[in-house]
Structure 1
């Protein structure tokens, strides 16, 4: 599934202004939480730098690892819908391999 163009903070605020419901607020809080993780990853990237030096402040790295370890998308089992998609793609790959195609 291709991703849509990322939404800016202004676009997210506009969505809430149009639909100021508790459900939209909760979704925006989750988006904010995920954006914080992306900002931490960017902070680490800037610390590593373009030369690829391996130095990252320990406290920043530890915080990033804690954030990733707590991510449901890393730890949750697939939902039934996700499992069905995975199964369908695996069957497709198996068919391709039987017919000599590379996946």
Structure 2
């Protein structure tokens, strides 16, 4: 799946300025939470460095693990829409294989 270009903090603020609704605010709060997880991952990456041998502070790692363990995307069942998309993709793949195409 191709993703759109990431939104900057300024772009996110502009979205809220155009649509200052409770729903948009809730979505922005979720984006903020996810961005915090990305920043924690970057903190760990910088501690590890290119060689991958540096020590990661236990408290940083524990916090990161807690954040990841709490992520609904890792445990939520698929929504009906996601199930339909997955089934359609599997049907396309099976059809390609039947026709001798390898993907």
Pairwise TM-score range, normalised by the shorter structure:
over 0.9
Q: Are residue 96 (structure 1) and residue 96 (structure 2) matched?
A: yes
Moved >3 Å (runs of 4+) = none
Q: Distance in 1 between matches of 2:23 and 2:32?
A: 14
Q: 1:98 to 1:54 in 2, by over 3 A?
A: farther
Q: 5 Å matches for 1:60-75? A: 60-75=60-75
Specify every segment of 5 or more residues in structure 2 that has no aligned partner in the other structure, as ranges: none
Matches within 5 A, 1:22-61: 22-53=22-53, 55-61=55-61
**Equivalences, count:** 103
Structure 1 regions of 5+ residues with no counterpart? Answer: none
**What are the superposed Cα offsets for residues 37-84 of structure 1, whole Å, 9 maximum, x if unpaired?**
000110111011012225221211111111111111111011000000
The RMSD of aligned alpha carbons is 1.2
Change in CA separation of 1:101 and 1:54 when aligned onto 2, cut-off 3 Å: farther
Q: TM-score, normalised by structure 2?
A: 0.92
The residue aligned with 2:4 is: 4
User: Could you tell me how far apart the structure 1 residues matched to 2:67 and 2:51 are?
Assistant: 26
Q: Distance in 2 between matches of 1:87 and 1:13?
A: 37
Q: TM-score of the superposition, structure 1-length normalised? A: 0.92
Whether 1:87 aligns to 2:79 is: no
Q: How far did residue 5 of structure 1 move?
A: 0.8
Aligned mates of 1:91, 1:55 — CA distance in 2:
46
